[in-house]
Amino acid sequence: MKLEYILFGFGIIFCLAGVGYLAAQYVKYLSEWGQLVSLLLTVGMFTCLGKYFEGVGW
Partner 1 sequence: MATRKTAKKTTQRKNLYLALTIAFFLAIIAIFIIDGYMGIYDTVTITTQEREEVIEPDYWSSDYPQYTWVDEGQDMNFRYELDNRRFSTYSAEAEAAIWFGETKQEVLLTQAVAIGGFDKEELSWTIDTSALRPADIPENQDFEFSVVITRDGVERRIIVRVSSPPIRY
Q: Applying CB under 8 A, which residues contact partner 1?
A: 23, 26-31, 33-34, 37-38, 41-42, 44-45, 48-49, 51-52, 55-56
Give, as one character, the DSSP assignment of residue 6.
Answer: H
Nearer to partner 1, 7 or 27 (CB): 27
- Rounded distance between C-alpha atoms, residue 33 and residue 11, angstroms: 32
Please, what is the minimum distance in Å from the beta carbon of residue 3 to partner 1? 28
Nearer to partner 1, 5 or 55 (CB): 55
- The answer to whether the CB of 35 falls within 8 A of the CB of 27 is yes
